[in-house]
Amino acid sequence: MAGQNAQDVVVAGTGAVSVAPDGTALPADLVTPLPAEWLDVGYTSEDGVTFTFSREQEEVNAWQVSTPVRVLVTNEPITIATELLQFDKTTILLAFRGGDFAGIASPWTYTPPDAGATDVRALVVDAVDGDYAFRFCFPRVQLSEDVETTLVRSDAMRLPLTFNVLAADEKWQIISDHPGFGEAAAMQASGGGSKAATAEKAA
């Protein structure tokens, strides 16, 4: 059984957010550099990246009892939110769901896509805690919330983005070289915590 271990307290001191076209293969390790189709969106605000794993449930109630007789899971949405600090070709195309840039020399012109356009991407969030890395990989995401930015002299221009994780053939993953992941894998391999092991122990 896992106990108190300060090493397993993770502090993401830095990291990166990268996007790629829909259908791009997700990375399989931490060592191989991301291929050219993956674009680093650059600086994000000091709030980093926020993952929200939600669960929507519906209770089935009965006349005879005051507590639900069943709870049905109707939806399990996942959102990823971050705030971009750079305002460039990569971030503009991401924030405004595509569009086109014209010009081979200054000045360049950006034209947004037609109304109702969607832009599905693959997304990778890398987080680093000292010597250890955590790579969160999502095969399909789509921008879901409003993008509100302000031009003021007292702060940087910011692009707050929120993505919904979409259904895909491949599930989202976390890749890490942190020892805590190895301990969890070793416990699972030995049968600890599995349904089969629990049933065997009960017998």
Instruction: Supply the pLDDT for residue 201.
Output: 41
Question: The domain containing residue 127 runs over which residues?
Answer: 11-177
Which pLDDT value is given to residue 190? 63
Q: Are 153 and 174 in contact (CB under 8 A)?
A: no
What confidence score (pLDDT) does residue 186 get?
Answer: 64
pTM metric for this prediction: 0.87
pLDDT at residue 200 in the model:
42
| Residue 54: inside a domain | yes
Query: Within a domain: residue 4?
Result: no
> Per the domain annotation, does 53 fall within a domain?
yes
Instruction: Report if residue 186 sits inside a domain.
Output: no
Q: Which two tokens stand for residue 36?
A: 């050219």
Check residue 3 and give its pLDDT: 81
Domain contains 63: yes
- Read off the pLDDT of residues 120-178 as tens digits, 9 standing for 90 and up: 999 999 999 999 999 999 999 999 999 999 999 999 999 999 999 999 999 999 999 99
Supply the CATH number for residue 106's domain. 2.30.110
Per-residue confidence (pLDDT) for residue 54, from 0 to 100: 97
Residues of the chain with pLDDT under 50: 1, 194-203
Q: What is the structure's pLDDT at 199?
A: 43
Q: How many other CB atoms sit within 10 Å of the CB of residue 82? A: 21
If we measure between CA atoms, which residue out of 100, 91, 102, 90 comes closest to residue 147?
91
What tokens appear for 156 in the block? 């940087």
Does residue 81 sit within a domain? yes
Name beta bridge partners: 16. Answer: 126
Q: What is the pLDDT of residue 195?
A: 47
Tokens describing residue 112 = 């947004």
C-alpha dihedral, 90 to 96 to 98 to 104, nearest 10°: -50
Residue 182 domain-assigned (yes or no): no
Has residue 199 been placed in a domain?
A: no
How many domains are there within the chain? 1
